Chain A
Amino acid sequence: MNITLNGKASEITTELNVTELLNDLSLTPAKVAVERNLQIVPRSVYSKTIIQDGDRIEIVRFIGGG
């Protein structure tokens, strides 16, 4: 299954929900926010949100800024 992850073409070999995706990427859910096809994925539904073929996923976090 092919998805776009932070702008880069990526392949997923097993079915994943958002919690599992973040785990695979070694990211702490509390420190990031996730957008799927331009829609925010609330933290409360991470485990119910299954990544689909063609999804465009953005994972962002706070960084230094002015």
Chain B
Amino acid sequence: MVTVLKSSDLLAAVENPENIQVQDKPLTIAGRVFGSRLIIGTGKYKDYQQNADALAASGAEIVTVAMRRVNLSSPDEPMLVDFIDPKKIVFLPNTAGCFTGEDAVRTLRLAREAGGWSLVKLEVLSDPKHLYPDMTETMRAAEMLIKDGFDVMVYCSDDPVFARKLEDLGCVAIMPLGAPIGSGLGIQNKVNIRLIVEQTSVPVIVDAGVGTASEAAQAMELGCDAIITNTAIAEAADPIRMALAMKHAVIAGREAYLAGRMARKLYADPSSPLGGLI
């Protein structure tokens, strides 16, 4: 018997990709489970409203935030927490601007008091020109923070040796840079990112360097568990649209990684069979 499908049946299958059953473990960081594998920053936006709109478009459940002095001369100025609700979105306080372990620990203790949670992003920077992490100080700060009860997600160089040391210390996520912070240069060292992914049993999250959606997908195709991006969204001509693009890119990259790409070949291989030619 021949069944001819109506075009509406075909459309339904295409328009409802959720009907297709695919298995994936959710992103789990220090026992917390997340549906989205995209983490976005909250810096460099035109204003907090645009930031909140981009967040909604991105579907992210975690945002990175910084800790700074209150501007005492204008106590009424808009506050981030009035636009992004820390009860609904996980605030991941960073240590941006810290150049020593002590600075980082001090900042995150304040963040813990302000927010009441222990999940933090440690970044101890070196030279302002390239903002590469100072790995010796990062190691020292990570040790101090872990002893103090923090769950440390650590920004690090893409060096598999340091990545291993940080994991051994007890960091809950290893976050190598793809390229210098804010550069938008994409994943510069895919070999190292892949090596880190293969050796690490906690989540590996590319933090810094992603410039556009294809680069987010690339990080995910390498097997990263998530990505963090700030500037790529905030400095896009249309941040809301780029946030949406990043959402799709991270899903696409993850699915491609799970699917397993085809082997690369040196020569063409026809997709249509050669047998039965008329």
Contacts and interface: CB of A to CB of B under 8 A. Distances in A.
Contacts of A59: 69-70, 72
B110 A65 contact: no
A6 B69 contact: yes
A5 to B, nearest CB: 7
Number of contact residues on A: which range applies?
20 to 34
Nearest to A5: B72
B64 A26 contact: no
Interface stretch (B111-119, B188-196, B262-270): B111-119
Contacts of B111: 33, 62
Contacts of A62: 65-67, 79-81, 86, 91, 93, 111, 114-115
B146 interface: no
Contacts of A60: 67-70, 110, 114
Contact of A7 (B69, B106, B115, B230): B69
B148 to A, nearest CB: 11
A33 B113 CA distance: 6
Identify whether the interface residues of B are mostly helix, strand, loop, or mixed.
mixed
Interface in B16-58: 41-45, 48, 51
Contacts of B44: 64, 66
B43 A27 contact: no
Contacts of B81: 31, 61-62
A35 interface: yes
Given A33-B114, A38-B106, A63 B68 contact: yes
A37 B93 CA distance: 22
A32 B45 CA distance: 22
Nearest to A39: B109
Contact of A25 (B48, B72, B91, B228): B72
Contact of A40 (B68, B93, B109): B109
Contacts of B182: 66
B245 interface: no
B218 interface: no
B44 to A, nearest CB: 7
A64 B45 contact: yes
Given A6-B72, A27-B75, A31-B81, A66 B114 contact: no
B113 A43 contact: yes
Interface of A: 5-8, 25-27, 31-35, 38, 40-43, 58-66
9 contacts: A33-B114, A34-B113, A43-B113, A61-B67, A62-B65, A63-B80, A64-B43, A65-B66, A66-B64
